[in-house]
Structure 1
Amino acid sequence: MRALLQRVTHAKVTVDGSVCGEIDHGLLVLICAMRGDGEQQAEKLAARVAKLRIFEDDLGKMNRSVTDVGGACLVVSQFTLAADTSSGNRPGFSTAAPPEQGKHLYEHFAQALRELSLPVETGIFAADMAVNLTNDGPITIWLDTADRN
């Protein structure tokens, strides 16, 4: 699975003008299940997200996790993280998991974060979503559960 994490002071996702997920201090997690991924990858990625030390301590060093700072996660499905731009001018998405599997793993990932005692809000899988955020830092981190080179 792939995730793009953004440390935020506020983030929300809307569908058809209605807010479906909103957090203050925490992480916006854009997530994509890849072909061949399973629940184990979702759980592994959730554990990494919960423990990743990208929040500042009292000395201004990135030594605290979202769990440590009492932050929340806004999890948004983002199949375009699977984009293959190696040829031509139009990205391909054939490495993304099929929609049914992608939805299951997206929901499993969000639940795994909840089981790690994190407050979690979500978007709506496969919906046309508008995401608004205030990136804090800015801090943006890319995570992948597999080396796909």
Structure 2
Amino acid sequence: MTTTSTERGTKWLMQAGLRPTRQRLALAELLVGDGQDRHVTAEMLFSSAKEKGHKVSLATVYNTLRAFCDVGLMQEVTVDGSKSYFDTNTHDHPHFFWEDDGKLTDAPSEELQIVGLPDAPNGMRIAKVDVVIRLRRE
């Protein structure tokens, strides 16, 4: 990794108050080191880390992604109720899920209109609306 990617990863962790441990920093560099947003599964990130020679376990990757979500660095997007993607873009926005490729990408927010949400049950409020638009080749 380059000095710039290390600096980006360190800054990203520090802005959330996370101590930049060796493993957190290695994963942060993979996630935000080039300044681009990412949609990754834990398995994808684990594979990338191994390819770069980082010594992390899959359990560590899962725990680190959860920690990143807990402090607001990432958001979890669940697809099919069992597969989670982790997104470095934490702003509210819709996603395309490409079923044939198993890939998650951002969808254009400006084209989405959500109207007529049901009222939340008594004592509850709507915290967030997740939109995943599934795509399949014809």
Output the TM-score relative to the length of structure 1.
0.27
Bigger Rg over Cα: 2
Please state which structure has a larger fraction of its residues in strand.
Answer: 1
Which protein is richer in helix relative to its size? Answer: 2
